[in-house]
Structures are given as structure tokens and as C-alpha cells.
């Protein structure tokens, strides 16, 4: 099965379905870790990667023997390979071994880096004005061969595009062979590293100049080499590397189950994202108390939701006691912001009240505007166990009757290997920004780095600290000493928009 060139969204639907159903996954070095998120929790993962930089985990023979062994044991096995399994992926050899052992198999093609990496670098491998043919060539032949099977005189005379895979270490030899056999030394060449990924890097030159340029830039595998006039199209087709956040790396501190929206939006804008969840969302300590309040919904005039999590957990326990959203027919609903209202809409509900500013204080002000006399009204606040009491206090001061119930817990994520990886990224200046979407993400971030930051306060120097809103910013100033970016609209899209606007003047100054 081909995993594609790197961008997990370039995986085929058929490949995703197979990954989700297989018992064992044998995966390679070039398979993006985000693709492995679709593996069943109970499935076995076996890394069998081979890399010119890190060496071979298993020999090819050992991989094939393992495939046969697992299949003979009754397992449904996914042999997951970067790119396409039949384009220099040794998929044919593995298929032949399975055939020899009477093991049934199917092949799921993948998008090859030979076409995807150039496309993401703004280079079409064919073009009406430049090339009517494309050749895909290995830059790393079998070392056991007595001599090269590449016909350099023919390749040098071809007028179409030449794409070399796995050839960056042989780049001086490749360019020399082409020039020696008659290829114009001024032929345009591009080398693309980690094509389709946020860390993609592209350099261009000619057959005469590209090898020294790549050496100076210290480009390491995986790279593809594109030779031909199609490289001339890059200045006006370079859509990916010109995105507003391309080349920037951001750390996300949200809970892992909530990080996808922020991650997706940043990556759509070209950024690289490192997930460092500082909080976990868990069921409440007292489920019975939650269920009791939900069974008495009819006694409340208002239910106020201050987060999408509050909505989801409320509905979860409402359904568990055999009730449904009709229980909300006698009360009015307020939501702190559009994300919370969207969560309500998923259950067929619509907020009656939505403040213009998405903080708890604004809910109270908006309530007073539409209903000045709150005395005697009953309010239910389904919330996190550590949520602020400001709204409840304001309502109580206005004479309202308030029941707060913790429908979920927010706890600090336990220490794991991601801390070591984050410290490495910070210490090598690979992080450009850290995003915080709540006060708890800030306090838990500081707690997780408690053993590192006091001794190395410079780790955060030069890194932009981005906040979703004023409450989060207050905690950031208390614990981290500063806020560099604050979203005027306190939502995930608002946070992303503020990050983009922050970098736009810098990009204009650079370009």
C-alpha cells in the first residue's frame, strides 16, 4: 500500500479504509506519523524503515519473511510504504514473495513523490510549452549490479522532464553524466526535500550549478531531483511555499482530542505543527450529580454553556439517563461563543443568547441587556471542574439562583516522550510560536516544563506566544511574563487569523 508522499491528506480513501481495518501495520521511514493515527488502537505496529541517514531496521529479506509469517498466522497485514509501492518501492519483490507462499494480497497505489513533490514546489512535470514526456529514474541503483542499467546517452538526449528519486547523494555524478553525454549545462534543475510536508525545501539551479548549491545548503535525503525546462514554471506556480505561514513551526498546547481544528488551519496556511498537549479532558468525578441536575432541567429558566466540551459532556450524560434534547424545551440557552453554539447545533439546539465578546463576563452583560431583572431566576452552568466562578458570582449578586455542575475534568497531561522532543525543538530554535487556547493550557505548560524552564529561561526567547483571548493572556503574563499575539476574536479561527496578521508585515518586509 502506498502512503503517498508525506501530506497525510494525499492518502487515498481506499488506503485509509484498509489501515483502519488491518491487524498489523508494517510501515516505512517515509510514512507520516499522522497517517498512523488511523491505525486501530488494538492493532500491532512494526517499524521496518530503511533510511540512508539512520540505517536499516530490517533487511528486505527479513521484511518479506515477516509479511509471510504474519499472514500465515491469520493476520490481515498492511505493508505501508511511502509514495507508491511499485515506483522504486520494492513492492513487486514483496508481492512475488507472497505469491510464492500462496498468500493472497492486493495492491493499493499511492501518489508518488515523483509527481507530488514537484507539484508542491510549483513545478509541473509536464507542460504544453516545456515537456511532453516525463521519465522517473532511480538515483540509487542496486549496488549488487555489475554495472549501471541507466542509459546516460539516451537520458541526456531526451527533451522531456527527468525526475530522479533517492539521488541527492549522487547528484554530482548525475549532473556530470548528463553534461558529459550532451545535456546542456544550462538546463534548469530543482531539488525538493521533504516534498508536500510543511518542512519542504526547494533549491533551483542548472546542471552546472545545482550540486554546489545543494552542498552549500546541506540538503539531506529524502530529496527528489527535477531536470528540465518545466522548472521555469516555478516562479508563477509556486503556490505552497508562498503560503503565509510556510516555514513556520507552531506548538499546540490544546488537548489532543481538540487539537485537530487548530492544527488543520495552521497547516492549511503552510505551517508545521508540533502537538504538545498540556491538558486532558476526562469525565467528572461525580457523574451521578450531573445526571441528577439534567433530570431536573425543567426547573431552570436558563442553561449557560461556556465551552464545546460542556455541551458534549452534558449531552452524553443526558442520553445516558434515557433523556434527549426535548428536556431543554422549557429553558433558554446561552453560549459563550460561536464554537460552543456550533456544538449545540450538532445536537439540534440553537443558543438564544450569544454575546458579542466571547468571555464569561460578556454573557452576564448581555443577559442583563435582554432581561434586566435576574432575581429569582434559576441558572444551570454545566462546566469544567476548574472553570472560573466569575459568571456564577455575578449572577448570584444579581439575585439569581445558580447551580454549577462539573460535567468534565481538565487535568494536566502526564509527562511523556513529547517533552524531550519539544525541548530539543526549542533549544535548536526550530519553534516560531506557541499557541494557548485557555488559562489551563498555560498553567499546565509551565507545570510540564517546570524542571526545564527555570534552568533554561532562554528556551522561549524569540518565540512568539499567542493567546486566544484576554483571560488566557492574563495567565500568560503571570506565568510566562508576556503575550506577543492576542486574538481579538476569541475563537480558533480568530487565533489563527491574528497569527497570520502578525506575520504579514514581516513577510512584506522580507519580500
Give me the active site residues, please. 28, 50, 166
Among residues 37, 43, 45, the alpha carbon closest in space to that of 21 is found at 43
* CA 270 remoteness from chain centre: 11
The rounded distance, in Å, linking the Cα atoms of 33 and 360 is 38
Residue with cell 539512520: 54
Side-chain-facing half-sphere of 146: CA atoms under 13 Å:
0
Beta strands (DSSP E) in 104-245 are 134-138, 161-165, 188-193, 201-206, 223-227
- Select from 176, 191, 190, 274 the least CA-distant residue to 232: 190
Whether 114 and 136 have beta carbons less than 8 Å apart is answered as yes
**Does residue 473 have a cis bond before it (omega within 30 degrees)?**
no
In sign, the C-alpha dihedral spanning 77, 79, 84, 89 is negative
Q: Is 258 within 8 Å of 410 (Cβ atoms)?
A: no
What does the alpha-carbon distance between residue 27 and residue 406 come to, in Å, rounded to a whole number?
A: 42
What interhelical angle do 210-217 and 171-180 show, nearest 10? 170
Q: State the Cα–Cα distance between residues 264 and 275, nearest whole angstrom.
A: 12
Place of cell 491528506: 9
Take residue 127 and report the three cell numbers written for it. Answer: 507542460
Distances (CA, A) of 445 to 435, 475, 489: 11, 11, 23
How far is residue 369's CA from residue 30's CA, in Å, rounded to a whole number? Answer: 57
Half-sphere exposure of 462 (CA within 13 A, CB side): 11
Amino acid at each position: 500500500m502506498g502512503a503517498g508522499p508525506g501530506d497525510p491528506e494525499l492518502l487515498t480513501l481506499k488506503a485509509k479504509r484498509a489501515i483502519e481495518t488491518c491487524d498489523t501495520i508494517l510501515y516505512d521511514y517515509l510514512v507520516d506519523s499522522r497517517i498512523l493515527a488511523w491505525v486501530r488502537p488494538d492493532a500491532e505496529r512494526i517499524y521496518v524503515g530503511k533510511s540512508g541517514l539512520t540505517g536499516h531496521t530490517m533487511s528486505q529479506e527479513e521484511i518479506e519473511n515477516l509479511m509471510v509469517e504474519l499472514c500465515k498466522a491469520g493476520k490481515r497485514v498492511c505493508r505501508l510504504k511511502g509514495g507508491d509501492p511499485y515506483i522504486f518501492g520494492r513492492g513487486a519483490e514483496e508481492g512475488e514473495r507472497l505469491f510464492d507462499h500462496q498468500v493472497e494480497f492486493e495492491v493499493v497505489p499511492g501518489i508518488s513523490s515523483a509527481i507530488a513533490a514537484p507539484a508542491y514546489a510549483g513545478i509541473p512535470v509536464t507542460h504544453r510549452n516545456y515537456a511532453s514526456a516525463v521519465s522517473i529514474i532511480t538515483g540509487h541503483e542496486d549496488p549488487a549490479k555489475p554495472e549501471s542499467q541507466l542509459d546516460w546517452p539516451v537520458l541526456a538526449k531526451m527533451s522531456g522532464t527527468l525526475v530522479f528519486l533517492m539521488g541527492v547523494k549522487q547528484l554530482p555524478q548525475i549532473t556530470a553524466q548528463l553534461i558529459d553525454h550532451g545535456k546542456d549545462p544550462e538546463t534548469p534543475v530543482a531539488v525538493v526535500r521533504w516534498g508536500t510536508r510543511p518542512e519542504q525545501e526547494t533549491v533551483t539551479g542548472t546542471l552546472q550549478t545545482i550540486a554546489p548549491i545543494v552542498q552549500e545548503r546541506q540538503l539531506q535525503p529524502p530529496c527528489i531531483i527535477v531536470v528540465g525546462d518545466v522548472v521555469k514554471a516555478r516562479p508563477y506556480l509556486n503556490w505552497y511555499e508562498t503560503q503565509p505561514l510556510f516555514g513556520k513551526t507552531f506548538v499546540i498546547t490544546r488537548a489532543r482530542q481538540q487539537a485537530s481544528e487548530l492544527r488543520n488551519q495552521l497547516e492549511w496556511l503552510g505551517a508545521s505543527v508540533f502537538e504538545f498537549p498540556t491538558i486532558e479532558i476526562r469525565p467528572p468525578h461525580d457523574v451521578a450529580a450531573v445526571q441528577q441536575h439534567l433530570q431536573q432541567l425543567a426547573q431552570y429558566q436558563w442553561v449557560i454553556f461556556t465551552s464545546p466540551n460542556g455541551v458534549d459532556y452534558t449531552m452524553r450524560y443526558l442520553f445516558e439517563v434515557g433523556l434527549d434534547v426535548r428536556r431543554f424545551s422549557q429553558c433558554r440557552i446561552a453560549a459563550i461563543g460561536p464554537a460552543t453554539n456550533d456544538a449545540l447545533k450538532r445536537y439540534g439546539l440553537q443558543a438564544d443568547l450569544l454575546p458579542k465578546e466571547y468571555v464569561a463576563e460578556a454573557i452576564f452583560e448581555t443577559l442583563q441587556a435582554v432581561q434586566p431583572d435576574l432575581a429569582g431566576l434559576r441558572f444551570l452552568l454545566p462546566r469544567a471542574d476548574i472553570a472560573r466562578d466569575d459568571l456564577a458570582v455575578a449572577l448570584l449578586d444579581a439575585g439569581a439562583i445558580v447551580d454549577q455542575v462539573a460535567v468534565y475534568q481538565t487535568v494536566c497531561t502526564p509527562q511523556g516522550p513529547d517533552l524531550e522532543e519539544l525541548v530539543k525543538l526549542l533549544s535548536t530554535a526550530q519553534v516560531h510560536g506557541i499557541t494557548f487556547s485557555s488559562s489551563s493550557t498555560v498553567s499546565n505548560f509551565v507545570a510540564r516544563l517546570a524542571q526545564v524552564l527555570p534552568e533554561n529561561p532562554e528556551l522561549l526567547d524569540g518565540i512568539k506566544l499567542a493567546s486566544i483571548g484576554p483571560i488566557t493572556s492574563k495567565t500568560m503574563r503571570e506565568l510566562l511574563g508576556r503575550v506577543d499575539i492576542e486574538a481579538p476574536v476569541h475563537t480558533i479561527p480568530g487565533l489563527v487569523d491574528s497569527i497570520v496578521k502578525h506575520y504579514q508585515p514581516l513577510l512584506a518586509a522580507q519580500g
